[in-house]
A and B are shown apart, each in its own frame.
Chain A
Amino acid sequence: QVQLVQSGAEVKKPGASVKVSCKASGYTFTNYYMHWVRQAPGQGLEWMGIINLTDDIKSYAQRFQGRVIMTRDTSTSTVYMELSSLRSEDTAMYYCARDGPNNFDYWGQGTLVTVSS
């Protein structure tokens, strides 16, 4: 069965970077794109970007341009999202989600990133 398993919670200081991983299993990794979505405490869903797992082409939401980098490792079926220059407003749950035949069809369990001095 399809599974997306994300790395554990992180606590970072303002100005630092964080790298979250998302390991996929149960399907052919390169057949589908992967999204990253975040959700601040008590807030709605916010799309961060998408990565093509075949050719490594990415599209990032405008508000994250220059601060986010999405990468993938096809040998381990793992996708990474790195966010730099962290500020308190980046405290959120970060999700990976597969762009399947019906759009966001499978989601990771989420990774809580806390930014605090």
Chain B
Amino acid sequence: SYKLTQSPSVSVSPGQTARITCSGDALPRRSAYWFQQKPGQAPVLVIYKDSERPSGIPERFSGSSSGTTVTLTISGVQAEDEADYYCQSTDNSGIYVVFGGGTRVTVL
């Protein structure tokens, strides 16, 4: 079955830039989405269609795509950004949803 691969963890100091990558064979043809999840809370959409930001999401969150890899970038990381981040897309059929394994962002 189709998989999306994320690195398990990223550590970053406040004010620095965090980059989280997600790899998958269908990503050149399928949009990617990014979710932030804090402990005890439901996930929140932070990026849709590779690089679009929903209203209410800070500008420091951005997304990009290159080939089979998509990247979530958090510029000027703040303590409140400490969370788990998940990428999501679909397989080539466009029907079956897949989530990456998640990346824990730790703010030092």
A residues adjacent to B (C-beta < 8 A)? 35, 37, 44-47, 50, 59, 61-62, 95, 97, 102-105, 107-110
Point out the residues of chain A lying under 8 angstroms from B98, CB to CB. Answer: 47
Is B15 on the interface with A (CB-CB < 8 A)? Answer: no
Taking A44-B86, A103-B45, A103-B48 as contacts, is the C-beta distance between A50 and B97 under 8 angstroms?
yes
Taking A103-B88, A104-B33, A104-B35 as contacts, is the C-beta distance between A61 and B96 under 8 angstroms?
yes
Give the CA-CA distance A103 to B43 in the complex, in Å. Answer: 13
Contact with A along B85-107 (1 / 0, CB 8 A): 01010000001111111100000
Specify which of B31, B49, B86, B96 is in contact with A45 (CB 8 Å cutoff). B86
Contact with A along B16-56 (1 / 0, CB 8 A): 00000000000000010101010000111100110010100
B53, closest chain A residue (CB): A102
Q: Is the interface of A mostly helix, strand, loop or mixed?
A: strand
B residues adjacent to A (C-beta < 8 A)? 1, 31, 33, 35, 37, 42-45, 48-49, 52, 54, 86, 88, 95-102
Give the CA-CA distance A110 to B41 in the complex, in Å. Answer: 8
Q: What are 21 inter-chain pairs, A to B, with CB distance below 8 A? A: A44-B99, A44-B100, A44-B101, A45-B35, A45-B37, A45-B88, A45-B99, A45-B102, A47-B96, A47-B98, A47-B99, A61-B96, A62-B1, A95-B42, A102-B33, A102-B48, A102-B54, A103-B31, A103-B88, A104-B45, A109-B42
Give the CA-CA distance A91 to B98 in the complex, in Å. Answer: 20
CB distance from A67 to the nearest CB of B (A): 16
A99, closest chain B residue (CB): B97
Question: Contact between B54 and A46 (Cβ–Cβ < 8 Å)?
Answer: no
Question: Contact between A107 and B42 (Cβ–Cβ < 8 Å)?
Answer: yes
Beyond A35-B97, A95-B43, 7 extra complex contacts between A and B, CB < 8 Å: A44-B100, A44-B101, A47-B96, A102-B45, A102-B54, A104-B88, A105-B45
B49, closest chain A residue (CB): A102
